[in-house]
Structure 1
């Protein structure tokens, strides 16, 4: 399946679907103030909405991947697109924050969780040789990065020229076009018998992720260490002012739920029943390290975009289009790196590319910290954002290829869902973490934004260390 017309039939609708899902995660950043004013809410309300969107995707991605194995790849892809388009239409018509959350955070999140796993599964099973797979993973991963990077620019242009609501209507039109293209998608035969959905496992995995991310979100109100105000549930005071921050209560509950989830999965596997995801997927060192790099890539990408967008709008009084244009160098960097993905994959190992990507991203962030000030020219953003964009673009494709190629075709459903879940959890935590640091500051200004970028930079360093630990040769694929 390497001839251009056939490849185009497969890759174009998949890449467009990945683009629109990634675009949705960042296009609201440039219009935070406008949307908050229009819906009569706050910046925190919009930040929470954005975080809940990526959190919904992360929480349901593994379940969506399992449904792909049960219902079929093409059916899940088309069904997810339909749900996503419905959510985008509802968000475009939203009269208030509640409807926006239902349309954008819930329906678009659920739709994405259904349509994204088939994208990576189909690329893996249709293109069997590593070079072709790397090429088309590059196209799809490039579409993901481009969507995230173009979100601020395109969203800013549409918001300034028409309305932020028009940005959601544009997504509806794009979804309709993808649905037309998807009619010609192939759906290679799947193994029989089809697995059963582990409902309890699905609930536990989603709940664990939600508690962890919601815990991070609480830091904006209550602080990280001691609670700045009393935390109550109904009329019951759970934590008094000055007590331990509720952040750690939420995180602890999330950890307990995750432990319950793994015990549940192990129990089902021992009983010979289908688990939500097999624990043996976590026994592959190469894949585990690759998943770690994916998580950190999206955490820093979404987090830094959120920080810079809020900084420009609150401290520099930029409007939507000015904010989008200011972030254009990152878009250009991701485009340049994605365009060279196939050539780089042929000349360098995936390990080397991931290491180089993290190195460039760290360098870009250091340039931002060194050059950008509250009163500096907007051009001081260009070197740092361009270098960060190049770095992220280089490693996005390589990390996906490392993870997906570590397993045989029979495991592609499970590993695709896990991979996308880890990436979207990174997006959720990036926005939540960066936003909480900004909001938690008692005197908004330069320092909260600097602190946010420093924290994100520390994660990039951790990602670079994980990349150093990647083995020179991928481990043998685990048998199905």
Structure 2
């Protein structure tokens, strides 16, 4: 009797492994290239700006297509979209590994891997919601997935740096292909909890408008160091397109037709604040990763493995706080965990700010990076729980897509904003460019702290025994 009762639980835990690994490899892909800047730019005869563009476009394609990806799961099936996304991602990683120039690298890494991620990540969160119906096991599953995402992003520089120094930056993409192949094999254990609905309508116009609007906004930020007029034009165009998207969505809802993104998702104050904290967390992580990695490599002359080893501090900090997160969650409200996390991250940015003028050693960056990792590890899961638990199961597809889109948009903007400031400064006064980028990240961290402070004081995990990791 006991064996029969534990069998489904073991089966679900096995199903969770490929889902968590998928989040790990996608987060890894978003950060590991930051330590390959010099190697890629020299090998492909391009510039730091070119590599920054490839990194940012990858994150942007993810963000722009995540909401449509979430809707497509209903039409074609969650597991089917998950496998398809893995295949597209793997093809992109393989193409990136053999790319002869920046254009092919952008096609493989930024476009195909970005599309693959947008197809596979929404099913990860939707399948988790459907496969773990009770709140305790669901919160723990989300905790495991969020922790793997954070570890992938934090450990990306170390793993990527080691592979690049030992073999080649191209081998880092082969590593991704091998992990994807393993996930595809393990994904056979993942059940499909609900049948696909081929008759489900899909809002193509809404998908195009949302993707185009986000693309224009981020491209406008990237244009800031070259042409302010072009930047302004792109930003205005992007805002207008996004406004048109919401007008379009409202018109479809009033006509009783299926919209890409139900506007009622934005009527929940707690969820809105949770989305802001998610956005800020990933913006901070990617912004700091790009700024410190680029500065150490381009200005200080560190190689990929040296840079990656320094970033181990972020990974260690994130792991420690993730391991302690279960104890924290039993005793403290989610609002408290997120607020304290932002305070610790702000302290980390404050420590990093003067490092370029205080010390010539790269190890001086370790304390600040550790604090940022520790702060993030304690608040990634509470932010996800707050957003996902704010809506019933019939809206989990939409909120999962929106949540992942907001997080990946944060990653994209982190690389675009901080990277643009730093790259402009490297060509003139590197220390000033680094300091300005860090000040901007500090202000953004304060904005996240303010959003966390406005969360309801009683916002707690679904149960007192929730384990975020």
Same-fold status (TM-score > 0.5)? yes
Q: Which residue of 2 aligns with 1:459?
A: 444
Counterpart residue number, 1:447: 432
- 1:123 aligned to 2:108? no
2:422 corresponds to: 438
Residue matched to 2:343: 359
Gap regions ≥5 residues in structure 1 = 228-244
1:469 corresponds to which of 454, 466, 469? 454
User: Size of the alignment, in residue pairs?
Assistant: 455
- What is the match of residue 111 of structure 1? 116
Displacement after TM superposition at 1:83 (Å)? 0.3
Q: 2: distance between equivalents of 1:191 and 1:89?
A: 30
Match of 1:76? Answer: 81
1:98–1:374 Cα change, 3 Å: farther
2:24 paired residue among 13, 19, 25: 19
Aligned partners of 1:247, 1:292: CA distance in 2, in Å? Answer: 24
Q: How does 1:141-290 map to 2 (within 5 A)?
A: 141-189=146-194, 195-222=200-227, 227=228, 245-290=229-274
Which position in structure 2 is the counterpart of 1:369? 353
Residue matched to 1:241: none
Q: What is the correspondence of 1:377-456 to structure 2 with a 5 Å cutoff? A: 377-441=361-425, 443-456=428-441
Which residue of structure 2 lines up, in the alignment, with residue 230 of structure 1? none
Give the 3 Å change call, closer, same or farther, for CA 265–255 of structure 1 in structure 2.
same
Using the alignment, how far apart are the partners of 1:390 and 1:147 within structure 2?
Answer: 14
Structure 2: gaps spanning 5 or more residues = 463-469
Separation in 2, partners of 1:248, 1:71: 39
* 8 Å contact kept, 2:77–2:196: no
Pairs within 5 Å for 1:3-42: 5-42=10-47
Structure 2 counterparts to residues 302-317 of structure 1, below 5 A: 302-317=286-301
The structure-2 alpha-carbon separation of the partners of 1:374 and 1:207, relative to structure 1 and needing over 3 Å to count, comes to: farther
Partners of 1:370 and 1:310 lie apart in 2 by 16
After TM superposition, where is structure 1 displaced by more than 6 Å over at least 4 residues in a row? none
Secondary structure of 1:132's counterpart equals helix
Distance in 1 between the 2:376 and 2:134 partners? 24
Which deviates further from its counterpart, 366-375 or 348-357? 366-375
* Inter-partner Cα distance in structure 1 for 2:367 and 2:134: 37
Work out the CA distance in 1 between the residues paired with 2:37 and 2:285: 18
> Does structure 2 retain, via aligned residues, the 8 Å contact 1:131–1:346?
no
Which residue pairs with 1:335 in the alignment?
319
Alignment-derived partner of residue 95 in structure 1? 100
Partner of 1:231: none
Shift of 1:335: 1.2
CA contact (8 A) 2:354 2:435 kept: no
